[in-house]
Structure 1
Amino acid sequence: MVPKIISGGCHQDARGSLCFNNDFDATAIKRIYVIENVSSEFVRAWRGHQIEARWFSAIAGSFAIELIAIDDWDAPSPNLKRMSFQLHSTALDVLHIPAGYVSSIRALEAGSKLLVMANYALGELDDEYRFEVGYFQ
Structure 2
Amino acid sequence: MLINGNKFEDERGIIKFNNDFEASAVKRIYTIENSSTDFIRGWQGHAIEQRWFSCIKGRFRIAVIHIDNFNNPSSDLDVKYYDLNDDTLDFLHVEAGCITAIKASEDNSKLLVLADYRLGEIKDEYRFPLDYFNIKL
Query: How does the TM-score come out when normalised to structure 2?
Result: 0.96
Distance 2:24 2:84 in 1: 22
Unaligned runs of at least 5 residues, structure 1? none
Q: What letter corresponds to residue 91 of structure 1 in structure 2?
A: T
Amino acid corresponding to residue 120 of structure 2 in structure 1: G
Identity %: 51
Q: After the TM superposition, list the runs of 4 or more consecutive aligned residues in structure 1 that deviate by more than 3 angstroms.
A: none
Measure the CA separation in 2 of the matches of 1:119 and 1:129.
16
Q: Aligned to 1:58, which of 48, 55, 58?
A: 55
SS at match of 2:87: coil
Contact 1:37 / 1:112 at 8 angstroms: preserved in 2?
Answer: yes
For residue 115 of structure 2, the aligned residue among 85, 102, 118 is 118
User: RMSD of the alignment, in Å?
Assistant: 0.6
Code of the residue aligned with 2:81 in structure 1: it is S
The answer to whether the 8 A contact 1:32-1:115 is kept is yes
Correspondence 1:3-82 to 2 at 5 A: 4-82=1-79
> What runs of 5+ residues in structure 2 fail to find an aligned partner?
none
Indicate conservation of the 8 Å contact 1:53/1:119, yes or no: yes
TM-score when normalising by structure 1? 0.96
Distance across 1 between alignment mates of 2:101 and 2:34: 12
1:71/1:77 contact within 8 Å kept:
no
Q: 1:75 Cα shift?
A: 1.0
Equivalenced residue count is 134
Query: Per-residue displacement from partner, 1:37-64 (whole Å, max 9, x unpaired)?
Result: 0011110010000000000000000100
